[in-house]
Chains A and B, each alone.
Chain A
Amino acid sequence: MLNATAMSSIFVLDQDQALDFYVGTLGLEVNTDQDLGFMRWLTVNVPGQPDRTILLEKPGPPSMDEATAERVRELLTKGASGGWLGFDTDDAYRTFEELKAKGVEFTDEPTERPYGIDFGLRDPFGNAIRIRQLPK
């Protein structure tokens, strides 16, 4: 039996910029930032949850050929890379205001849904992120 989600990954165009956004703006923590030579292993996690990491992976050779990497980058910037992230918050309205003050690009504002309150935003590259507040 599986116990938990441990690691997910999302493509980013630039890992320094990704670090600024995911840590500096969204407030995640760096889990590992290591230059392995063939790639920079950059993972982040929600504070207090180091066992659930997100790999911020840069598409490119040798993992994929240059032409494929270009297509991936193109799709990413069109908002169609395939991956997205969802986070929980205790207070969707407050989090929205905090992120708004930091200049985040939103796809929709906090809205009451049957399952809670949620809103959407984009990372600097085009990845979709959703943040929700579940009912207590």
Chain B
Amino acid sequence: MSRAVEESNRRLLRARDAMDRAYAQPLDVPALARIAHLSEGHFIRTFRATFGETPHHYLQRRRVERSMYLLRETRQPVTDICFAVGFTSLGTFSRTFRDIVGQSPSQYRRTAVSVPVPTCFTRTWMRPVNFGEVRPAKVD
């Protein structure tokens, strides 16, 4: 029983790692489901049960976190950043960013401050927590 859970967790972690690694590529659910040795529908349900959110939401948060990093640490234009992290339209990027962060990308850029810790930490610890539930941050 327990060993089956361990096997399942480990395979889903492999699929999640693949998203972390290739977040800028299009989300290919069939490929991720193959990594997890599951059918697509079962993969999405099991991923959610294991990590608390769907693969799609996980990937969106990963992309938004990377875009936050680039907005914060570079002078790249917002449009370039949108495509660099894997979004295919500026509209979807801005809407998703606002849903998750509560600010537009340019508002975030104006208020963000550089964070002097290794990137592997900002990647996991500065990843926005909620999806679609964050109240807009107060901007004065």
Contacts and interface: CB of A to CB of B under 8 A. Distances in A.
A122 interface: yes
A125 interface: yes
B6 A79 contact: no
A48 to B, nearest CB: 25
Contacts of A113: 118-119
Contacts of A105: 14, 17
Contacts of A77: 5-7, 9-10, 13
A70 B10 contact: no
Q: How large, as a class, is the contact surface on chain A?
A: 20 to 34
A88 to B, nearest CB: 13
Measured as residues with beta carbon below 8 angstroms from the partner, the interface class of chain B is 10 to 19
A37 to B, nearest CB: 25
A74 B9 contact: yes
Nearest to B116: A114
A22 interface: no
Contacts of B111: none
A111 B20 CA distance: 14
A108 B21 contact: yes
B2 A74 contact: yes
B13 A115 contact: no
A106 interface: yes
Which residue among A108, A109, A115 has the maximum number of chain B CB atoms within 10 Å of its CB? A108
A107 interface: yes
A122 B118 contact: no
B120 interface: yes
B2 A78 contact: no
A109 B51 CA distance: 23
A52 interface: no
Contact of A107 (B21, B50, B118, B119): B21
Interface of A: 13, 70, 73-74, 76-79, 105-109, 111, 113, 115, 118, 120, 122, 125-126, 130
9 contacts: A74-B6, A77-B5, A78-B50, A78-B51, A106-B21, A115-B118, A118-B120, A125-B10, A126-B9
